Amino acid sequence: MTAIPLVWSEAQRLHDPGAEIWVGVRAPAVEVAARADAIRAELELAGHPVVAAAQQPDRALEAVHDRALLDFLASAWREWEASGLPQDPGQDRVVPYFFPHPGLLGTLTPVLPAATWARTGHFAFDTMTLIGPGTWEAARGAAHAALTAADLVLAGERAAYACCRPPGHHVTRSAYGGCCYLNNGAIAAAQLLAALGGPIALLDVDAHHGNGAQGIFYDTADVVTGSVHVDPGAGWFPHFLGFAGEEGAAAGAGANRNVVLAPGAGDGPWLAAVGELARWARGFEPRALVIALGVDAAAGDPESPLRVTAGGLRAGCRELGALGLPSVVVQEGGYDLATIGPLVRAALEGLDDGLAAAAAATRGSELAHG
Ligand code: SP5
Ligand code: ZN
């Protein structure tokens, strides 16, 4: 059996956030192109075939995002540049400054501001997620990689891995942030849903809450969403949501699950949480699985206080593979350039082991009953 294919978009390299602005301070960006290079180098060495992301129709993005968000992202840099803001006052990235906070507007509908510099706040929910000259092309390339991975799985691959950069799991239907611009995992899930029918399971093992998919699919059980992450109640991003009590609403009541971990948690509690999410998702009898694979839960990652090991990631992804579902993996976070490659490799090895075990078990029961 050949190793799980890696889907690659060369366009991802065009995004250089340049910085992230945190508490008003411009700090070096951690979400850099070298992340994807490190992953690709490690996976190529391990024998994963590389597949180029194929161009995809816009409607695949519209399945999960508002047209207004897509239009903004596609034009934001051009308009920022045309407005002269890079020269005066000297801001070389698109940043927000004023927000249509519910406390400002009450029940009024936010308009799209006339001023370029005010428009960003309509779509950005944080200050850390900068837009530059190639951001849109890269974000679209990452989404196309996720869609290509979904298409490979729909064509019969047991699993496919999309090396998505920039990542996507914080993006909602209408707003972006958290170093993310388009929700690659949700876009892949929507593609699988359209082809296979529901339910589709989307499980997020990034160290941070998968708030984007939670929000996009909150009212439906067609895509069942689960996330294990460091407790926002202990002071971690995304701060305002990601709590255990968020379980879905309306037709989606009970179809979202958050498992929160204390800062410092390692393999034991993390694996227990992944196992819990896997068992919970199995109960919905999903037709396919999307894994939002952030590896920032690993010990030593600069953006998270969790202490999972490569062996832990391997074991967790083995449990997800053991669901025996066609699986699309999208890259989310993971910011330690020295370990990101080996961590992703370990995760995919685990997934492959789990899928093989599930396939062997199915063959065994067919022999017994056939
Ligand atoms: C995809 C993903 O993992 N996004 C993570 C976004 C969370 N970033 C929170 C950043 C908070 C401030 N970071 C300060 C830098 C300390 N090293
Ligand atoms: Zn993360």
Measured in Å, residue 355 CA sits from the centre of ligand 2 at 25
Pocket test for ligand 1, best of 21, 171, 236, 237 (most atoms within 8 A of CB): 237
Query: What pLDDT is stored for residue 88 in this prediction?
Result: 98
Average pLDDT per 10 consecutive residues for the chain, totaling 370 residues: 94 97 97 98 98 95 98 98 98 98 97 97 98 98 98 98 98 98 98 98 99 99 99 98 98 98 98 98 98 98 98 98 98 98 98 98 86
* Atom 2 in ligand 1: residue holding the nearest Cα: 333
Query: What pLDDT is stored for residue 1 in this prediction?
Result: 72
Tell me, using a 6 A CB cutoff, whether residue 179 lines ligand 1: yes
3-class state of residue 62 by DSSP: helix
- Tell me, yes or no, if 170 is annotated catalytic: yes
Query: What pLDDT is stored for residue 370 in this prediction?
Result: 66
Please answer whether residues 277 and 319 qualify as being in contact, where contact means their C-beta atoms are separated by less than 8 angstroms: no
Which-ligand-closest: CA of 170? Answer: 1
Which-ligand-closest: CA of 166? Answer: 1
Of 170, 208, 209, 229, the active-site residue reads 170
Q: What are the DSSP calls for 182-245, one per residue? A: S-HHHHHHHHHHHHH-S-EEEEE-SSS--HHHHHHTTT-SSEEEEEEEE-GGGT-TT-SS--TT
Tell me, using a 6 A CB cutoff, whether residue 237 lines ligand 1: yes
Which residues lie across from 177 on neighbouring strands?
180
Look up the pTM and report it. 0.98
Tell me, using a 6 A CB cutoff, whether residue 333 lines ligand 1: yes
Measured in Å, residue 303 CA sits from the centre of ligand 1 at 5
Q: Write the pLDDT tens digit of every residue in 111-126.
A: 999 999 999 999 999 9
Tell me, using a 6 A CB cutoff, whether residue 20 lines ligand 1: no
* Atom 9 in ligand 1: residue holding the nearest Cα: 237
Query: What pLDDT is stored for residue 58 in this prediction?
Result: 87
Surrounding residues of ion ligand 2, Cβ less than 5 A: 206-208, 294, 296, 333
Distance, in Å, from the CA atom of 370 to the CA atom of 365, rounded to the nearest integer, reads 8
